[in-house]
Amino acid sequence: MLWRGSVNRPPTPEAEDGRQDQHLSLQEIINIKLVESGEKERLKELLRERLIECGWRDEMKELCRSFVRKKGKNNVTVEDLINVITPKGRASVPDSVKAELLQHIRSFLGSAAL
């Protein structure tokens, strides 16, 4: 994990001392904040909506369908389908969608008083 180095930094003035006692990594702290504030769910919904709009979801479903056709519908597991979609799925997210989500994430990080 590349950001371990930052955990060893001297604490910032606004450090949340309560949390630090529990020795949670910074990333875990942020994740908790993300979920607690409901922001994670909102971001996920936003991403899902954008991916539907741009046809990404249909592409993925088509990949699944052709895999199912080849393998036979009763021989397919969820793992199989995840392995089928993941490489193409990660690569084919439109740049604009990615940029929009990253912008939201960054502004959340900024407002989360790191």
Partner 1 sequence: MSLPNDKNGNMSFNSQLSAHLFSDLLDSIIVDVASECHRTARLGLDCNLEIEEEELRLSAEARARLSDPSNGGDVNGKYIVDIFGQTHPPVANDIFECMNCGQSIMAGRFAPHLEKCMGKGRKARLKARRSSRLAQNRYARGSYVSSHSQYSSTSQLSNDTSDTTGEGYSNGAYEDP
Cα(25)–Cα(6) distance, rounded to whole angstroms?
10
98 contributes a contact to partner 1 by CB under 8 A? yes
Decide: helix, strand or coil at residue 11. Answer: coil
The distance in angstroms from the start CA to the end CA of the chain is 18
Q: Report the C-alpha gap between 88 and 99 in whole angstroms.
A: 18
Shortest separation between residue 20's beta carbon and partner 1, angstroms = 17
Residues 23-42 that bind partner 1 (CB under 8 A): 27, 30-31, 34, 40
Compute the distance between CA of residue 43 and CA of residue 102 in angstroms, rounded to an integer.
10
Residue 93 DSSP class: S
Binding mask 61-90 for partner 1 (x = CB under 8 A): x--xx--xx---xx-xxx--xx-xxx--xx
Residues in contact with partner 1 by the rule CB under 8 A: 2-3, 5-6, 9, 12-13, 27, 30-31, 34, 40, 43-44, 47-48, 51, 57, 60-61, 64-65, 68-69, 73-74, 76-78, 81-82, 84-86, 89-90, 93, 98, 101-102, 105-106, 109-110, 114
